[in-house]
Structure 1
Amino acid sequence: MEESADENVELLLALLQNNAELEWLEFKSSLGDPERIARYISGLANTAALLNRHSAYVVWGVEDETRRIIGTDFSPRTTKVKGQELELWLARATPGAVFAFIEFEFEGAHMVILRVHAAADRPVECLSKAYIRVGSSLVELKTDKDREGRLWDILRNKSFEEGTAMEAVAEERVQKLLDLGAYFARSRQAHPASLEDLLAIATTLGLLRPRDDGRWDITNLGALLFARELSSFPTVSGKSIRVVQYEGDTRAQVVRRQDGAKGYAVGFMGLLSWLKAVLPAREVYVNGERTEQLVYTDLLLREVLANAMVHQDLTVRGSGPRVEIFNDRIEVSNPGRSLVAVDRLINHPPLARNSALANLMLQMRLCENHGTGWDRIAMETEDAGLPSPTVQSDDDSMRVTILGPRKLTTMQREDQKWIVYAHACLQYANHKHLTNGSLRDRFGISTRNSSQVSRLIAYAVEDGLIELFDESVGTKSRSYVPYWARLVR
């Protein structure tokens, strides 16, 4: 959402009230060198973080000494750098930076404001060098060890959720930007009777911060969950959930693409409904009547989506959860590696990357209790007769693949062994052991084919995925536990 002309003028007048040039504010009558602008972006992003400010600014069209409005010929929209648009070149020169140019007319003069958001998780660099403002000077960060150390301390200890998505927002505009009513509807609480009470509760929840001037700062947490339009907030606009449906079993042809425009809490149920409308169903008989049933259950979809939202690495710029739909499977990915080894996701103590986000999602009944989400996913796939989800994790991302219905005889042996292992983990989480009988029930295999199940168990034992619980019992009484169970017994 672009800011209105009145808001641009209001911002300019507020910046002009600062009589002295500050480390987070620079006035320029002219500045057109792209590389120098890029250095300013780096320096101002790092300075804003050091000073615990949401943003820092460069203003073109103001005489430095007198603060007189003189206008500028500089136009970022028309400036090119070696044939590239200026903003694209600057984005590549300062990876990780969040910035925006604002062009407008004021009293007949052309004005430009560059707003630079504070560095989030690491210092912003320009062409592989980090800068910072010292007084009115722009210097390399490494030359000031004191500032460099303090900046790193701040960045390491500050969560993305606490960061500011938008500052100095009038209280009536807060409601236009955020659908705070969604919190009370989803958590089944009465909506506050007054705006004052609403803002007070939102502050307690970490969605807003009051300011001394009577305005409000909206946090990244507030924007990410309750934005009416994520595009209104540059710090979280890249975190929207993208859904892509493909023709067939490959990515060769896209059937449809849908990008979530709203905050997670506001748009979650709509996303779920959209997915259920495009996902396949199968015919089943209930009490003798034929009916359609989703291949992927409501609870399964809800848990996989919520996990991707809650456990993503929010500091990865411009990347959010992604849902890919194929004829034979669903793949749900998110930025950031899994904090837990992928073979320990079931029955593992909770590790939260974004605890404030997880807590609010839990309060709004959008996800399970901490640490139980993967147990629920495993149970849902078993109950639906689906193969156990597979998980891939690297340094940059995590991908969960949920396969559609498969016959045991058509599965690869690796997939078969993974299902055996996942079943053992789920049984252990429920204080039970894997047995030939429990695995037959899992695969829907009759008693007369128990030897087939015995072979699958043997394969998993050979690979070290499961182990015999008690070697002293007879063959028919044998039960098995995950390989790691001996470490926790």
Structure 2
Amino acid sequence: MTTLETLSRWLADAPENEHLEFKEAKQQYDTTKLLRYCVALANEGGGHLVLGVSDRRPRQVVGTQAFQNRGEVTARILEALRMRVDVQELQHPDGRVLVFTVPPRPAGTPLHHEGAYLMRAGEELVPMSPDQLKRIFSEGGPDWFDRPARAGASAEEVVALLDTQSFFDLMQLPYPTNRDGVLERLAKERLIERKPDGWNINNLAAILLAKRLDAFSPELARKAARVVIYEGANKLTTRYDEPQPQGYAVGFEKLVDFVHSSAPRNHFVEQALRDEVKMFPRQAIRELVANALVHQDFEATGQSVMVEMYADRLEVSNPGLPPIQVERFIDEFRSRNERLAELMRRMRVCEEKGSGIDKVIHLAEVYQLPAPDFRTSETRTTAVLFAHRDFADMSKTDRIRACYQHCCLKYVSNERMSNQSLRERFRLPESKTATASQVISATRTAELIKPDESDTTSTRYARYLPFWA
């Protein structure tokens, strides 16, 4: 049951996400919109729709006159969606609030309203992709990683198909003295399973350790990370376009080295270090590629991780939408593929939970690059690293994004952003204090940062927090 205390906590702390939605609805609220939001919340695990609260921060109770007959609207939802939604009325001092508590959909059954299978994407409701629907319909069956990539393989075929030497090297384990020891360890890690007709090599083993993914199946071959290098700032002329045929773990360092070596030089940092420096830091490339490999939607067919290099930027994208908002990448972590992530961490391919994106943002600051951008489309998540750009050449959007990310980076480091720290991030002299203040003001207007009022109320010495802190 939702209480006034719960509502107060939501108003103070909780961001809107796929499980929580606020609407003002002062006078009324469209029933069709209500049904569509119920469908989207149910499809993403259930949640709450709250009417009578301002949409934008700082959130306040404004009161609502919508749906005065709660029994009637409950019956309307049940009739339309075949789902019972609890409708609760809270009498807040500032007005009436309605809370719709939506249960999760049944396993294997996506919900729809008038044929539209909906989900949240930022502030919008969008249709689920065919691959997302396929994944829901397959619930209850074997996990993608447990499905066999090769069934009934002999011991010789297991060793021929998988790079077992790299596996033991990455795990920092001594290589067994005989083949039985190799198979025993792979079986212990649930990468292979003994069957009456031989060994089943599962998809997890193949996607990580395959000597060649195309030796297993066309489906796995299409999961190979693909590197594309363009001549200019668009896709008109392609200089290189090849998939990385090895499994993710065994081919990871080679993939990162190739992308890094193909990057243009950063002459601006070279002048300071008096050494050759690539435009995109290797560690940043490493983190973004690892994130894309780990967090992709493996149920999405015919899609792969893409690493696309242009003259002025590097884009790393993966199939699937993130389970958290892109604005929260720096401080939150929720893995779509925890089993894959855990094994790749043990192989030292990716970092500990949630420590990758803050490194990317830090490196962008050190290498004097614009703030990286994180975007979602209908079916993909994309991270963008930009080539060097002077402050004067940055757009207003670039500056706001950099200010917000700098504020987040300071916060997760137990520090606070100030005018001075932002000037240092942009390499601006003290004479540009007013310019930094304008960027801070624009970022506040975008509701991405807020003053840290616990520190000081002085404008001159103001410190700032991310909006979610």
Aligned partner of 1:451 in structure 2 is 434
Aligned partner of 1:370 in structure 2 is 353
Rate the CA distance shift 1:156–1:407 in 2: closer, same or farther, 3 A.
Answer: farther
| CA positional deviation for 1:354 | 1.1
Mapped to 2, the partners of 1:285 and 1:440 lie a distance apart of 18
Aligned partner of 1:130 in structure 2 is none
Aligned partner of 1:475 in structure 2 is 459
| CA positional deviation for 1:280 | 0.9
Aligned partner of 1:281 in structure 2 is 265
**Secondary structure at the counterpart of residue 293 of structure 1:** coil
Aligned amino acid, residue 328 of structure 1: D
Aligned partner of 2:17 in structure 1 is none
Query: 145, 154, 158: which is aligned to 1:174?
Result: 158
**Secondary structure at the counterpart of residue 185 of structure 1:** helix
Q: Give unmatched runs, 5+ long, in structure 2.
A: 1-107, 111-134
Aligned amino acid, residue 149 of structure 2: A
Report which stretch shifted further, 308-317 or 227-236. Answer: 227-236
Aligned amino acid, residue 468 of structure 1: P
**Secondary structure at the counterpart of residue 266 of structure 2:** strand
- Structure 2 counterparts to residues 199-278 of structure 1, below 5 A: 199-213=183-197, 215-234=198-217, 235-278=219-262
Contact 1:420-1:456 at 8 Å conserved across structures: yes
Aligned amino acid, residue 417 of structure 1: I
Aligned amino acid, residue 184 of structure 2: A
Is 2:312 aligned against 1:328? yes
After TM superposition, the score normalised by the length of structure 2 is: 0.68
Q: Give unmatched runs, 5+ long, in structure 1.
A: 1-120, 124-150
Mapped to 2, the partners of 1:152 and 1:411 lie a distance apart of 42
**Secondary structure at the counterpart of residue 375 of structure 1:** helix
Mapped to 2, the partners of 1:161 and 1:395 lie a distance apart of 24
Contact 1:284-1:293 at 8 Å conserved across structures: no
**Secondary structure at the counterpart of residue 409 of structure 1:** helix
Contact 1:332-1:399 at 8 Å conserved across structures: yes
Rate the CA distance shift 1:425–1:289 in 2: closer, same or farther, 3 A.
Answer: closer
Aligned partner of 1:295 in structure 2 is 279
Contact 1:417-1:456 at 8 Å conserved across structures: yes
| Count of residue pairs brought into register by the alignment | 336
Contact 2:292-2:318 at 8 Å conserved across structures: yes
Mapped to 2, the partners of 1:330 and 1:431 lie a distance apart of 30
The superposition leaves residues 342-394 of structure 1 with CA deviations (integer Å, 9 ceiling, x where unpaired) of 1111111x211111211121111111101212122222212222112111113
Is 2:336 aligned against 1:353? yes
| CA positional deviation for 1:481 | 0.4
Aligned partner of 1:404 in structure 2 is 387
Aligned amino acid, residue 220 of structure 1: N
Mapped to 1, the partners of 2:203 and 2:303 lie a distance apart of 15
Report which stretch shifted further, 183-192 or 317-326. Answer: 183-192
Rate the CA distance shift 1:297–1:288 in 2: closer, same or farther, 3 A.
Answer: closer
- Structure 2 counterparts to residues 32-71 of structure 1, below 5 A: none
Query: 134, 139, 146: which is aligned to 1:155?
Result: 139
Mapped to 2, the partners of 1:268 and 1:376 lie a distance apart of 18
Contact 1:283-1:291 at 8 Å conserved across structures: no
Rate the CA distance shift 1:288–1:301 in 2: closer, same or farther, 3 A.
Answer: closer
The superposition leaves residues 51-104 of structure 1 with CA deviations (integer Å, 9 ceiling, x where unpaired) of xxxxxxxxxxxxxxxxxxxxxxxxxxxxxxxxxxxxxxxxxxxxxxxxxxxxxx
Mapped to 2, the partners of 1:323 and 1:331 lie a distance apart of 6
Mapped to 2, the partners of 1:288 and 1:373 lie a distance apart of 26
| CA positional deviation for 1:283 | 4.1
| CA positional deviation for 1:195 | 1.2
Aligned partner of 2:102 in structure 1 is none
Contact 1:237-1:318 at 8 Å conserved across structures: no
Aligned partner of 1:185 in structure 2 is 169
Mapped to 2, the partners of 1:122 and 1:325 lie a distance apart of 40
- Structure 2 counterparts to residues 79-94 of structure 1, below 5 A: none
| CA positional deviation for 1:189 | 2.1
| CA positional deviation for 1:287 | 11
The superposition leaves residues 4-61 of structure 1 with CA deviations (integer Å, 9 ceiling, x where unpaired) of xxxxxxxxxxxxxxxxxxxxxxxxxxxxxxxxxxxxxxxxxxxxxxxxxxxxxxxxxx
Contact 2:269-2:367 at 8 Å conserved across structures: no
Mapped to 2, the partners of 1:225 and 1:431 lie a distance apart of 36
What's the Cα RMSD here?
A: 2.2
Q: Which has the larger radius of gyration?
A: 1
Mapped to 2, the partners of 1:240 and 1:435 lie a distance apart of 44
Aligned partner of 2:289 in structure 1 is 305
